[in-house]
Amino acid sequence: TDLDLIRNFSIVAHIDHGKSTLADRLIQLTGTVAQRDMKAQMLDSMDIERERGITIKANSVRIEYPAKDGKRYILNLIDTPGHVDFAYEVSRSMRAVEGSLLVVDASQGVEAQTLANVYHALDAGHEIVPVLNKVDLPAADVGRVKTQIEDVIGLDASDAIEISAKSGLGIPDVLEAIVTRLPAPKGDRDAPLKAMLVDSWYDSYLGVVVMIRVIDGVVRKGDRIKMMQTGAVYGVDKLAVLKPQMVDIAELGPGEIGIWTGSIKQVRDTRVGDTITSEKKGCETPLPGFKPAQPVVFCGLFPVDANDFDTLRDAIEKLQLNDSSFSSEMETSAALGFGFRCGFLGLLHLEVIRDRLEREYDLDLITTAPSVVFHLHMRDGEVLDLHNPADMPDLTLVDHIDEPRIKATILVPDEYLGDVLKLCQDRRGIQMDLSYAGSRAMVVYDLPLAEVVFDFYDRLKSVTKGYASFDYVISEYREDYLVKMSILVNDEPVDALSMMVHRDRAEMRGRAMVEKLKDLIPRHMFKIPIQAAIGGRVIARETLSAMRKDVTAKCYGGDASRKKKLLEKQKAGKKRMRQFGKVEIPQEAFISALKMD
């Protein structure tokens, strides 16, 4: 295809501003999918994504569009994930296209993820067309939002396109703008093959499917190609474009986007951002800036029913086929039995995976408190990654500990600013910037990631009644006074409850935990001390008094459905108690203690 007749673009938006609805409209208006096949949110292929309205895996569609100039154009839309956990994937896939539609909800205005995503687009050198969506809503304020786009982002919004993705108003203008305002790709058909690996996923019929953007050269069915980072060589068994269903194609040339398959065993072998070239006479230098996505948030996943361990292991293996950014390792815990220590890109990623395990594999899981990866600088000069507080070595061997810090951007209506500043301050935050866009404040904070994975999103939502938006990038690892806090029940340490905390916050966290446990552990015939300790030093203590005759049962917390399930399982005669020295603790107590509230 003639390069001048190709346009490659992505849509950047804050969650819920209408990215998927607009993509659906573009597909519909160009007749890419027959009307009867159109389902809402065509591009979000997994059920869970549709249900939660979150686009997790990048996806793509090729649209053919007859423009007003009488020519037929090929428009390639790459659907990028919208959430902060997937920032690396967003920034990579943006490099595969030349332009972006910046969609802003005209009744809401610019939000934190609008900013984060538009910065990725600008970094990638994109031409950007601002699109104001939802102009059908009475609350839409086009003038105000245009000013905001200019003031906050610094983009000219005078020729922003006003649309309603819902009603279809303005969609033809969007298609024309893609052709007239976004640049055509550049590339050399005669140069050695150079293509970017944009995304990959596991398909139960085809195996691993790899999406690529060709920069230079041509790839044909049957070619032998090489991944430059891994050095692996594969044959191209199938070459296709997504419309959005796969349609076979003989070749892909410069500027084109498509998928191929070749007996690749696991998604792990395909790294987003890797450069693909021919096995023989390939290109010499790979595309710049490759780095594999690294898990930053870790937690333990344990089956409530020990008999489910094998099911859990199989389920994790299956999910990993499709998501190489999620890691796992077997773990055993005296409190929780056999399970896995798993690593994720962020909290949302964790939640999505846990949900899929529970739903698609019908598992009932216990999740331990999420923690981040600490760097332990040992006295002997070695640097160790700590993924699990339970693995913390003897303190005397550790010189100092570095923790990951983030740069967080929060947009919030004026009246909640005070509460947001207080929350960030409480979480060891350092204010870096504060500015205004109309009646909304934009604050930038330097925060420890460890404090954010604890319950920051939930707190932020509740203090701002849901009006704040939040986004972050990991900025650096920095030293702080961090310690491992252990929990002891009747002088026996309970591994699943130990955590890394800042020394100044240890008393508070320790107090909260022992108080909670006091309500959760049933009384015994003797007194039970419940303690939080750092090394050998006790920092908080409660005592559970001995049982009196009239005390019959305890009522545990926890959400209703899970509690019901547990009760049913207990009825089945499988009441699970864990033994800690002389103390018996129901597993349910751990589940409740690990719940963040």
Which pair of structure tokens corresponds to residue 384?
A: 């160790």
Q: How far is the CB of 15 from ligand GTP (least distance, A)?
A: 4
CA distance 569 to 562: 11
- By CB under 6 A, residue 455 contacts ligand GTP: no
Cα 139 to its chain centre, rounded Å, is: 31
Which range in 1-9, 52-60, 388-396, 401-409 contacts ligand GTP by CB under 6 A?
52-60
Q: Does 57 bind ligand GTP (CB under 6 A)?
A: no
User: Based on CB atoms, which residue is closest to ligand GTP, 34 or 40?
Assistant: 40
Among positions 1, 3, 5, 15, the unique one binding ligand GTP when judged by CB under 6 A? 15
Q: How many CB atoms lie within 10 A of CB 438?
A: 16
Closer to ligand GTP by Cβ: residue 89 or 588 = 89
21 is a site residue for ligand GTP (CB under 6 A): yes
Work out whether strand 337-344 and strand 430-437 pair parallel, antiparallel, or are unpaired. Answer: unpaired
What is the size of the binding site for ligand GTP (CB under 6 A)? 19
Cite the annotated binding site by residue number. 16-21, 133-136
20 binds ligand GTP (CB under 6 A): yes
Determine, following the binding rule CB under 6 A, whether residue 327 of this chain makes contact with ligand GTP.
Answer: no
Query: Is 55 or 320 the residue whose CB approaches ligand GTP more closely?
Result: 55
Residue 308's nearest CA partner among 569, 35, 102, 533 is: 569
User: With respect to ligand GTP, which residue has the nearer C-beta, 52 or 318?
Assistant: 52
Q: How far apart are CA 512 and CA 375, in angstroms?
A: 27
Q: Shortest Cβ distance from residue 471 to ligand GTP (Å)?
A: 13
CA 292/CA 275 separation, integer angstroms: 13
SS3 state at 155: coil
* Residues contributing to the annotated binding site for GTP: 16-21, 133-136
Choose one: 53-61, 328-336, 403-411, 508-516; the region binding ligand GTP (CB under 6 A).
Answer: 53-61
In the complex, what is the shortest distance from the CB of residue 141 to ligand GTP, in angstroms, rounded to a whole number? 14
State the binding string over 110-139 for ligand GTP (x if CB under 6 A, else -): -----------------------xx-xx--
What are the φ and ψ backbone dihedral angles of 39, each rounded to 5 degrees? -115, 155
| Least distance (Å) between residue 25 CB and ligand GTP | 9
Q: Is 53 in the site for ligand GTP (CB under 6 A)?
A: yes
Q: Which of 172, 153, 140, 146 is nearest to 28 (CA)?
A: 172
| Residue 173, H or E segment | helix 171-181
- Provide, rounded to whole angstroms, the least separation between the CB of residue 373 and ligand GTP: 28
Q: Does 339 bind ligand GTP (CB under 6 A)?
A: no
Q: Which of residues 134-193 bind ligand GTP (CB under 6 A)?
A: 134, 136-137, 164-166
**Residue 211: Cβ within 10 Å count:** 24
Q: Is 18 in the site for ligand GTP (CB under 6 A)?
A: yes
Count other C-beta atoms under 10 Å from residue 525's C-beta.
7
User: Smallest distance, Å, CB 412 to ligand GTP?
Assistant: 20
Phi, psi of 530 (to 5 degrees): -120, 120
How open is the CA angle 498-501-505, to the nearest 5 degrees?
A: 120
Q: Is 36 exposed, middle or buried (0-12, 13-18, 19+ CB in 10 A)?
A: exposed
Nearest to 209 by CA among 182, 167, 185, 237: 237
Quick check: 271 binds ligand GTP (CB under 6 A)? no
Give me 77's structure tokens: 């839309």
Binding string, residues 77-106; x marks residues near ligand GTP by CB under 6 A: -----x------------------------
Min dist CB 134 to ligand GTP, Å, is 4
Min. distance of Cβ 43 from ligand GTP in angstroms? 9
In whole angstroms, give the CA distance from residue 109 to residue 14. 10
Cβ closest to ligand GTP, residue 15 vs residue 437: 15
Query: How far from 559 is each of 565, 592, 597, CA to CA, in Å?
Result: 10, 9, 12
Residue 59 interacting with ligand GTP (CB under 6 A)? no
32 to each of 170, 247, 341, 523, how far by Cα in Å? 18, 12, 44, 66
Which is nearest to 371 in space by CA: 457, 316, 296, 447? 296
Q: Which of 8, 32, 55, 80 binds ligand GTP (CB under 6 A)?
A: 55
Tell me which residue of 192, 132, 129 sits closest to 162, measured CA to CA.
Answer: 132
If binding is defined by CB under 6 A, does position 251 make contact with ligand GTP? no
Task: Tell me the closest approach of the beta carbon of residue 587 to ligand GTP, in angstroms.
Answer: 35
Q: Are 303 and 574 in contact (CB under 8 A)?
A: no
Q: Is the distance from CB of 297 to CB of 374 less than 8 angstroms?
A: no
Nearest approach, Cβ of residue 17 and ligand GTP (Å):
5
Site string for ligand GTP, 549-588 (x = CB under 6 A): ----------------------------------------
Q: Does 508 bind ligand GTP (CB under 6 A)?
A: no
Q: Are 441 and 485 in contact (CB under 8 A)?
A: no
Per rule CB under 6 A, is residue 10 in the interface with ligand GTP? no
- Residue 194 within binding range of ligand GTP, rule CB under 6 A: no
Pick between residue 38 and residue 567 the one whose CB is nearest to ligand GTP.
Answer: 38
CB-nearer residue toward ligand GTP: 242 or 593: 242
Q: With respect to ligand GTP, which residue has the nearer C-beta, 52 or 576?
A: 52
Q: Which of these segments, 19-27, 226-234, 557-565, 581-589, binds ligand GTP (CB under 6 A)?
A: 19-27
Instruction: Look at residue 287 and give its three-state secondary structure.
Output: coil
Q: How far is the CB of 351 from ligand GTP (least distance, A)?
A: 14
CA nearest neighbour of 76 among 6, 25, 29 = 6
Measured from the CB atom, the residue of 276 and 348 that comes closer to ligand GTP is 348
483 forms beta bridges with 501
Can you tell me the distance from the alpha carbon of 220 to that of 34, in angstroms, rounded to the nearest whole number?
Answer: 28
Please, what sign has the CA dihedral across residues 311, 314, 320, 321? Answer: negative
Between 8 and 113, name the residue whose CB sits nearer to ligand GTP: 113
Shortest separation between residue 103's beta carbon and ligand GTP, angstroms: 7
- Rounded Cα gap, residues 421 and 203, in angstroms: 46
Comparison of 166 and 313: residue with beta carbon closer to ligand GTP? 166
Residues interacting with ligand GTP, by CB under 6 A? 13, 15-21, 53-55, 82, 133-134, 136-137, 164-166
